[in-house]
Structure 1
Amino acid sequence: MTGTAVSYATWHTDPQKEAAMGPSHAPLWRHFIETLPERDLATRAVLDFGCNRGGFLRLLHTLRPFRRAVGIDIASDSIAAATAAKGDLPVQFEVATDLAPWADSFDIAFSYEVIYLLPDLAGHARGMFDALRDGGVYYAVTGCHTENPLWPRWREVIGGASNAPVQDHAPQDFIDAFAAAGFAVSVKRFGYDGFIPATKDRSYYPSIIDAITYASDHKLLFRLEKRG
Structure 2
Amino acid sequence: MSRDAKTIATWYVDPDAEDHMSDGHAPIWRHLIDLILERDLSEKSVLDFGCNQGGLLRHLYAIRPFRKALGIDIAEQSIAKAEAFKGNIPVQHTVGQSLEGWIEEFDLAISHEVVYLVKDIDAHAADIFKALKPGGVYYAVTGCHTDNPLWPKWRELVAKRTNTVVQDRSITDYARAFANAGFEVSGRKLEYGGFIPFVEDGWTPDFADALEYYTGTKTVFRLVKRRNAS
Q: Is the 8 A contact 1:31 1:192 kept in 2?
A: yes
Report the RMSD for the aligned CA atoms in angstroms.
Answer: 0.9
Q: CA deviation at 1:215?
A: 0.4
| In 1: Cα distance, 2:73 partner to 2:201 partner | 28
Shift in Å, 1:96: 1.4
Q: Determine whether 1:212 maps to 2:178.
A: no
In the aligned structure 2, how far is the partner of 1:97 from the partner of 1:107?
19
Deviations 1:66-104 (A, max 9, x none): 000000000000000000111111000000100112111
Q: CA deviation at 1:202?
A: 4.4
- Mapped to 2, the partners of 1:133 and 1:72 lie a distance apart of 18
> Structure 2 counterpart of 1:125, which letter?
A
C-alpha distance in structure 1 between counterparts of 2:2 and 2:146, whole Å: 32
By how many angstroms is 1:41 displaced? 0.4
1:92 — aligned with what? 92
Total equivalences in the alignment: 227
Instruction: Name 1:169's counterpart in structure 2.
Output: 169
Change (3 A) 1:190 1:99: same
Whichever residue aligns with residue 214 of structure 1, its letter is Y
1:222 matched residue in structure 2: 221
**Structure 1: how far apart are the matches of 2:213 and 2:2?**
35
Which segments of 5 or more consecutive residues in structure 1 lack a partner in the other structure?
none
Unaligned ranges ≥5, structure 2: none
- 1:18-38 deviation per Cα after TM superposition (whole angstroms, max 9, x unaligned): 111111100000000011111
Following superposition, the deviation at residue 182 of structure 1 comes to 0.2
TM-fit CA distance, 1:206: 1.1
| TM-score normalized with structure 1 length | 0.98
* Aligned-pair identity (%): 52
Is contact 1:10–1:18 with CA below 8 Å preserved after alignment?
Answer: yes
Q: Distance in 2 between matches of 1:113 and 1:185?
A: 18
Contact 1:3 1:99 in 2 (8 A): no
Aligned to 1:160: 160
Cα distance change on mapping 1:150 and 1:25 into 2, 3 Å: same
